[in-house]
């Protein structure tokens, strides 16, 4: 199998539970990059919270893109310039804020390195911990004041799951909803998906689908893993992602799953 492009999810895939990149993973990524094969990050995170990882892995200076905000944005690693963006209009953002409030869920948005939240709770604080971004309370009008790449509800996992069917009904035709982590309900513009973004990126780089490797673990990775010719998952990925993956590591994500998969599918790059 020929691999000409690698896409890696961050949280619970490339990153350990402490949000660092295990040395085995970092070493494997650097070797693949040094071999001339593009490696791109594909995350639900914003560009601000992704960039430190891209820098730490030695990605700048290679002309690489990265998939941000679950595919709603594709940015250049070098400088962060926007290559492609899909947004919710202010009117649609208002509908989302209203629908989430009707369901008793808070709403948050991402604004130039800050998380805007309708209210603070333990799960909004968890998002700040995971992303490294500060948060501040904002009004509904501010949350819906400009086009947004995504909105998000952070809440108790049981509450998120209970609200999901009605949220999908209320926002049908307006937005696409997915649960990235059990406590995060992500609200995305129609067409925003890591699979679509990876397909766009692969075409731009001239790489056929059959030569794309993608590694992910959660609901926001499912499309990407299913689309790629070499869809992969860590051993402790979600069950539906494991079912979609063509290659599954023997190791969990925190113990070097990405390094194992890169060594298995790209042995020549590991020399």
**pLDDT tens track for 238-259:** 999 999 999 999 999 999 999 9
Q: Is the pLDDT of residue 114 over 90?
A: yes
Max distance between CA atoms of the chain, in angstroms, equals 56
Which single residue is written with the structure tokens 């209970």? 162
Give the tens place of pLDDT for each residue, 200-230. Answer: 999 999 999 999 999 999 999 999 999 999 9
Global pTM? 0.92
Radius of gyration of the chain (CA): 18
CB 225 within 8 A of CB 194: no
User: What is the fold of 5-85+192-270?
Assistant: Rossmann fold (3.40.50)
Q: Which helix (H) or strand (E) holds 201?
A: helix 194-205
Which residues make Cβ contacts (< 8 Å) with residue 239, sequence separation at least 6? none
* Mean pLDDT of all residues belonging to the chain: 96
Give the tens place of pLDDT for each residue, 164-200. Answer: 999 999 999 999 999 988 999 999 999 999 999 999 9
What is residue 271's predicted lDDT score, i.e. its pLDDT? 63
Q: Does domain 90-188 have CATH number 3.30.1370.110?
A: no
Percentage above 70 pLDDT, the chain: 100
Give the tens place of pLDDT for each residue, 69-91. Answer: 999 999 999 999 999 999 999 99
The domain spans of the chain are 5-85+192-270, 90-188
d(CA 10, CA 132): 14
């Amino acid at each position: 199998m020929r691999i000409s492009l690698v896409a890696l999810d961050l949280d619970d895939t490339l990153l350990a539970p402490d949000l660092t990149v295990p040395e085995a993973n970092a070493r494997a990524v650097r070797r693949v990059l040094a071999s001339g094969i593009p490696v791109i990050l594909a995350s639900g995170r914003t560009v601000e919270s992704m960039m430190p990882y891209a820098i730490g892995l030695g990605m700048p200076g290679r002309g690489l893109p990265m998939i941000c905000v679950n595919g709603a944005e594709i940015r250049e690693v070098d400088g962060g310039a926007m290559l492609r963006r899909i947004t919710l209009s202010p009117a649609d953002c208002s509908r989302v804020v209203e629908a989430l409030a009707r369901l008793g869920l808070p709403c948050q948005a991402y604004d130039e390195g800050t998380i805007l939240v309708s209210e603070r709770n333990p799960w909004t604080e968890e998002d700040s911990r995971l992303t490294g971004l500060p948060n501040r309370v904002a009004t509904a009008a501010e949350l819906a004041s400009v086009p947004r790449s995504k909105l998000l509800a952070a809440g108790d996992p049981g509450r998120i799951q209970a609200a999901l069917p009605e949220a999908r009904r209320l926002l049908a035709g307006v937005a696409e909803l997915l649960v990235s982590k059990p406590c995060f309900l992500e609200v995305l513009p129609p067409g925003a998906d890591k699979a679509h973004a990876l397909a766009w990126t692969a075409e731009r780089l001239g790489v056929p689908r059959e030569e794309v490797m993608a590694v992910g673990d959660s609901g926001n990775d499912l499309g990407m893993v299913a689309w790629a010719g070499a869809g992969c998952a860590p051993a402790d990925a979600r069950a539906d992602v494991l079912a979609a993956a063509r290659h599954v590591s023997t190791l969990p994500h925190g113990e070097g799953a990405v390094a194992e998969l890169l060594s298995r599918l790209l042995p020549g790059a590991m020399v």
